[in-house]
Amino acid sequence: MTSERSNAPGTRPFVGVVGGVGPLATAYFLNHVVRLTVAERDQDHVDMVVLNHATIPDRTEFVLGRSEQDPGPVLARDARRLEEFGADFLVMPCNTAHYFTQQVLDAISVPFVSIIATTVDAVRDRVPGLRAVGLLATSGTSSSGVYQDAFDAYGVATLVPDEADQAVVTSIIYDQVKAGRPADLEALRGVVERLVERGAQAVILGCTELSVVAVDHGLLDEPLFVDSTDQLARATIRRAGGTVRGEAPGA
């Protein structure tokens, strides 16, 4: 072997991605991990296995009690299968699916890097003295309280859109991105403005479908936005032993 970065198993942590929720968001996550990794050649990238399990029952429908098809056991089984495949740690590029985190944790013995915890840490790093954050997410994520509970622990208020604005966000996620149609960026910006007027010092793109919109429209360059897919991609590269573009090696 001429290189430490050979294909020998166990050389660097192997990433398992519990994905497909949704499929385009999973593809963007993979693309984002590759783009963000400092690499001169293929072998500098992190090894990953991505389960793009598109047919998992809808997460928000179940969280809101509108469907009896429980995605929790499916996500838990997928996570266990990825561990059995050889993954050294797991990520799940879907915020709403984190409602089922405990079921996933109960099914695996390898570490799980949470998109919620990673994003909360990033917001707190971004805004010193953080008091209030806006959350753009599915109704499932908002009503499940995964972000609110995490921010409550730091005395930070989580502001969610009012009912009319949440309907706009839901439509962008379900009727536009998941359906392969262009996103109504101006409508999204209106929702964001009203969160900022109410005191939001940062706005979380807390749905991986909104991360698709963020990449397509350059929102990642605006410091107001903290994108959950972007943060999970960075955490994934670091934990897998890669270097994130713009960061010091081993950061």
Considering the candidates 87, 137, 191, 207, report the single residue annotated as catalytic. 207
**Catalytic (active site) residue 207:** yes
Nearer to a second copy, 203 or 212 (CB): 212
Burial class (CB in 10 A: 0-12, 13-18, 19+), 61: middle
Binding string, 144-183, against a second copy, x = CB under 8 A? ------------------------------x---xxx---
| Residue among 18, 50, 232, 235 that touches a second copy (CB under 8 A) | 50
What is the smallest separation between the CB atom of 38 and a second copy, expressed in angstroms?
Answer: 8
Q: How many Å apart are CA 148 and CA 192, to the nearest integer?
A: 18
Q: Is 12 in the site for a second copy (CB under 8 A)?
A: yes
Q: 97-118: buried (b, 16+ CB within 10 Å) or exposed (e) per residue?
A: bbbbbebbeebbebebbbbbbb
- 181-240 positions binding a second copy, by CB under 8 A: none
**Catalytic (active site) residue 55:** no
At 160, list the tokens.
């969610």
Q: Is 80 in the site for a second copy (CB under 8 A)?
A: no
| Residue among 13, 20, 93, 134 that touches a second copy (CB under 8 A) | 20
Q: Is 56 in the site for a second copy (CB under 8 A)?
A: yes
Task: Label the pairing between strands 225-227 and 112-113.
Answer: unpaired
Task: Dihedral sign for Cα 175, 138, 80, 25, please.
Answer: positive
Stretch that binds a second copy, among 30-38, 101-109, 115-123, 157-165 (CB under 8 A): 30-38
What is the smallest separation between the CB atom of 125 and a second copy, expressed in angstroms?
Answer: 25
What is the smallest separation between the CB atom of 42 and a second copy, expressed in angstroms?
Answer: 4
Nearer to a second copy, 39 or 117 (CB): 39
CA angle 31, 238, 124 (to 5 degrees): 95
Q: How many Å apart are CA 251 and CA 243, to the nearest integer?
A: 8
Q: How many Å apart are CA 119 and CA 229, to the nearest integer?
A: 9
Q: How many residues sit close enough to a second copy to count as binding (CB under 8 A)? A: 49
